Structure 1
Amino acid sequence: MNQSFYLLSLGCPKNEVDSECMSALLKKAGYSFESDPRSARFLIVNTCAFIEPAVEEAIDAILDLAEQKGEDSFLIVAGCLPQRYKEKIFLEFPEVDTILGTGEYGEIVGALKALVRGDDLRSHRPGPPGDVSYLDVNRVPSALTGTYAYLKISEGCSNACAYCAIPRLRGPQRSRQPQAIVNEARHLAEQGVRELILVAQDTTRYGMDLMGTPALASLLRRLTTELPDIELIRCLYFYADAVTDELIEEMGSNPKLAPYVDLPIQHASDVILARMRRRETIGEITRTIEKFRQRIPRVIIRSTVITGFPGEGEEEFRQLLDYVKMIRFDRLGCFGFSPEEGTPAAGMKDQVCWATASSRPALIMETQKAIA
C-alpha cells in the first residue's frame, strides 16, 4: 500500500518548524516522504494566512496540488488558512479532503488513517489553538544541509496589535517548558546543528504565561551552558517593552549569543503606536535601543516599520522618517499598511488611501539606503 506523503510548507520559519514536526510524526508512524507530489498518496500543504499575499499564495498552492491529485490520493490543507477560513475551504475547494487548524498539527497521522478508512472528514472544523506538545517530537530540520536550525520556543501571541491576525489564527502565547526546549536543542545538536535560531511571535515574553515573568535570559543561559556543541544562538523577535536588563546583560556577556537584535518598532509616532495598540512608546523604544548599543557596541539592530496606518498624516509620517534618520538601524524593512479582514485596524476610521500608503515605503527605504 502506498504510504507516501508530499508536504509543502508556506510562510515563515515558525510554519517551517510545524511542517517538520508533522513530517516527523508521519515518518514515525511508518509513512515515507515523496518529493514528487504526483507520486504521493497524501498531498499536504501547510499554509500561511497572515496577510493577503500569503492567502493568495496558499490558494495557488492548493489549486496546483489539486491538479496533481490522483484517483487514490488525498489533499490535506493545514495551518493558518483553514484556521482563518474554516467555513469556506470546502466550499471553494471541493478537491480538499480534510483540514487541520493551527492547534491540530499533532493530529496529522490520525487524519490520514481516517481518510484511508473512508471517513468523511469534510465536516471537520478546527477548534481554537491549544496544546503545543506536538513540538516535542524529534524532527529533522529542512536546512540540515547547513549547520543551523530554527527552534520554536512558544506559540501564539498575546500582544493583540490592531493590525495583526496572529492572535486569532494562533491563539494567545503558550510557552514551551524549558526542559522540552533544551531536549529538542540537544537532539538538533546531535544531528550536527551548531547554530540555533529561536523563533516565536514574541521571544521577549517567553515564559510569561508559565512563570509570570519574562524568562528568555534564563533559557539562553541554560542552552549555552548545557549544550557545549551549540556555537551560536540568535533570537527572533523582540518587543521593546518586554526587553529586560537581564536579557541585555546576558546578550552582552555570553559569547555564544549573536550580537543581533530583531526589534520591529512599526512606527515612531506615539499617536500611531497607540492606535496600533502597541504597548511601548517611542521613548521606551529609543531607550531600549540605546541600552543594547551601550552594552553591546557591535550589536546589529534590525527593525520593520509600517506606513499608511489609519490616522497617519504627513506629520506622523515625517516623525517616522526623521526617526529612521536619527536612530540609524543597521537593517530595516518597510511595508505599506494593508487592512486584514477581522482585525481592529481594518475597521478604523481615517484610512489612508492605498496610493499614499504604498508610496511611502520607498521614501523610508531611500533614507535607509543612505544609512546602511
Structure 2
Amino acid sequence: MSNSDTVTPEVISLGCRLNIAESERMKAMLADAGDVVVVNSCAVTSEAVRQTRQAIRKARRSRPNARLIVTGCAADIERDQIANMPEVDGLIANASKLDPRSWNVPLPVAPPPPTRTRAFIAVQNGCDHACTFCVIPQGRGTSRSMTIEGVLREVEHHLALGAREVVLTGVDVTSWGHDLPNTPPLGDLVGAVLKTFPELDRLRMSSLDGIEIDPNLFELFASETRLMPHLHLSLQHGHDLILKRMKRRHSRNDAVALVHDLKARRPDLAIGADLIAGFPTETDDHHAANLSIIEELDIVHGHIFPYSPRPGTPAARMPQVERGIIKARAAELRQAVAQRRTQWLDGLVGEILPVLSERDGTGYAPNYARVDLPKDTPAGAMVDIEIRSIEGGLLR
C-alpha cells in the first residue's frame, strides 16, 4: 500500500464494541497507508450483512479511487458474497486484521490513541459456546484472552492519553480467563484494573453472560462506585423452552435472580439486554414470556433482534416463524422497551448526574442514560448536570 500526503485512510466500523476497539487499532496501523478504505464488517444477522453491503457501496461512492478492503465477520462468514461485489478490492480474514503483515505496514504498531472520551479495550475474542442461532464463532474462532498484564498496559496507555472511561469488551467477555493459566475469573481482571489505576474515573463492562458472573465480579458490581451501574445481559429470550432450543446455559429464573440480587445491593443499576424475536418454533405464549421479562428485569437498554437464519447454524434447520410475525413481534418488544425506558428516564428528572461529555455535544451518565449538554461543554469533561426534562430520548 502506497503512502499519500493528500488522503487519509478511513476505517468504517459496523456491529459490536469489539469491532470498535479493533477499528481503533487498525486506524493507527494504517495511518500512513494512503488512499485506503476499510470496512470492518458484521454478520451477526442477515440485516447486519445487508448493512455491511450498504456501507461498502456508500464507501465506494464517496472514495471512488481508494483501495477498498473488507474485513470483520462478514469477510469470513459471507466471503463469496462480499468478494463478488464490484466495489471490493480485497478481503482480509478476521483473524488477521490486527496483524500489520496483512496490510504490508511496518512492525511494531503502537496502541492507538482513543478517538472518543471512552477507550474500548478488547480483553477477549472468539467464543467456545455453540448457541444454535449464532454464526459468530465461524468468524471469530475459539475464545482467546488477553493476560491481565496486557490489559493493564493498554489501560495505562489510554489513561496517559486522557481517557476518562474504559470499556472492557469482547465476543464473550465472561469467558475471559478460561484459556489462561489457573483459569482466573473475570472478576480478577476487573479488580486488578480498579486496584492498579485509582485515577481511573469509570470502568464499564460490555455485554455479559449472566450465568458466568463470578462472585468477585458480582461484589464489584454491587459495591464499587467506579464500576458503572450498567449491566447489559446476553439474555436472548424470556422463555425456558426457547432458551433451551437456543442452547443457552441460563434459565429465566437465573436471570431474574441475578438482577434481583444485584439491585437489592445497588438500586441504581440500569439493566440492558439482547432479545431475539421470532426464534424458530416460538409460539404466542413464548413471545408473551419474552415481553414480560422486560418488565420483570426492568430492562431500560434493550437491543431487539428479529431472528434471521444464519448459514450453517442448527436453528436455520428448525421450523421457522413467518417473517411478518417476526417483524410484528420485534416491534412489540421494541415498544415495550421504549415504554419502560421512558418511565425510567422520567424518574431521573430532578436528579443531579455526573456526565462524561462526548464530542457530539452529548454525554453519558453512569447508568448509560444519554444527556444533552450545554453547548460550551468540552469533550472529555466530567460535569454534574441537573436533569430538568426529556426530549427526543435525551435527558436535558
Please, which of 20, 24, 38 is the counterpart of residue 44 of structure 1?
38
Please, which of 231, 241, 256 is the counterpart of residue 201 of structure 2?
231
* Cα contact 1:20–1:141 (8 A) shared by 2: yes
State the partner residue of 2:266.
296
2:316 and 2:29 map into 1 onto residues whose CA distance is: 38
| Alpha-carbon distance, 1:137 to partner | 4.0
1:158-237 equivalences in 2 (<5 Å): 158-211=128-181, 213=183, 215-237=185-207
State the partner residue of 1:340.
310
1:242-321 equivalences in 2 (<5 Å): 242-321=212-291
State the partner residue of 1:18.
22
Q: Quick check: 182-191 or 329-338, which moved more? A: 329-338
* Cα contact 2:145–2:180 (8 A) shared by 1: yes
2:68 and 2:303 map into 1 onto residues whose CA distance is: 35
The TM-score normalised by the length of structure 2 is 0.78
* Cα contact 1:163–1:346 (8 A) shared by 2: yes
Aligned CA-pair RMSD: 2.5
State the partner residue of 1:74.
67
| Alpha-carbon distance, 1:297 to partner | 2.3
State the partner residue of 1:9.
12
1:61-140 equivalences in 2 (<5 Å): 61-67=55-61, 68-70=63-65, 74-93=67-86, 96-112=88-104, 137-140=110-113
State the partner residue of 1:118.
none
Among all aligned residue pairs of Structure 1 and Structure 2, give the percentage whose two residues are the same amino acid. 28
* Cα contact 1:202–1:238 (8 A) shared by 2: yes
Structure 1 runs not aligned, ≥5 long: 33-39, 115-132
Q: Alpha carbons of 1:328 and 1:41: their partners in 2 closer, same or farther (altered >3 Å)?
A: closer
Query: Which one has a larger percent strand, Structure 1 or Structure 2?
Result: 2
One-letter identity of the residue aligned with 2:88? V
1:365 and 1:89 map into 2 onto residues whose CA distance is: 30
The alignment partner of 2:256 has SS state of: helix
Per-residue CA shift, 1:125-163, capped at 9, x if unaligned? xxxxxxxx99x84112221xxx32111110112222111
2:105 and 2:118 map into 1 onto residues whose CA distance is: 33
* Cα contact 1:151–1:198 (8 A) shared by 2: yes
* Cα contact 1:42–1:75 (8 A) shared by 2: yes
| Alpha-carbon distance, 1:111 to partner | 3.3
The alignment partner of 2:69 has SS state of: strand
2:264 and 2:54 map into 1 onto residues whose CA distance is: 47
State the partner residue of 1:151.
121
For these two proteins, the number of residue pairs brought into alignment is 336
1:42 and 1:240 map into 2 onto residues whose CA distance is: 40
One-letter identity of the residue aligned with 2:27? S
* Cα contact 1:336–1:357 (8 A) shared by 2: yes
| Alpha-carbon distance, 1:304 to partner | 2.2
Asked if 1:355 corresponds to 2:328, the answer is no
Q: Alpha carbons of 1:164 and 1:211: their partners in 2 closer, same or farther (altered >3 Å)?
A: same
| Alpha-carbon distance, 1:193 to partner | 0.5
Q: Alpha carbons of 1:332 and 1:42: their partners in 2 closer, same or farther (altered >3 Å)?
A: closer
Q: Alpha carbons of 1:110 and 1:206: their partners in 2 closer, same or farther (altered >3 Å)?
A: closer
The alignment partner of 2:50 has SS state of: helix
2:202 and 2:213 map into 1 onto residues whose CA distance is: 20
Please, which of 104, 112, 115 is the counterpart of residue 142 of structure 1?
115
1:328 and 1:301 map into 2 onto residues whose CA distance is: 7
One-letter identity of the residue aligned with 2:281? G
One-letter identity of the residue aligned with 2:147? Q
| Alpha-carbon distance, 1:258 to partner | 0.9
* Cα contact 2:272–2:299 (8 A) shared by 1: yes
| Alpha-carbon distance, 1:196 to partner | 0.6
Q: Alpha carbons of 1:47 and 1:366: their partners in 2 closer, same or farther (altered >3 Å)?
A: closer
Per-residue CA shift, 1:312-352, capped at 9, x if unaligned? 11221222223333332233333321222222211212x11
Asked if 1:323 corresponds to 2:293, the answer is yes
| Alpha-carbon distance, 1:5 to partner | 4.5
One-letter identity of the residue aligned with 1:8? V
1:175 and 1:267 map into 2 onto residues whose CA distance is: 27
Q: Alpha carbons of 1:357 and 1:303: their partners in 2 closer, same or farther (altered >3 Å)?
A: same
State the partner residue of 2:381.
none
* Cα contact 1:308–1:357 (8 A) shared by 2: yes
* Cα contact 1:5–1:42 (8 A) shared by 2: yes
* Cα contact 2:121–2:167 (8 A) shared by 1: yes
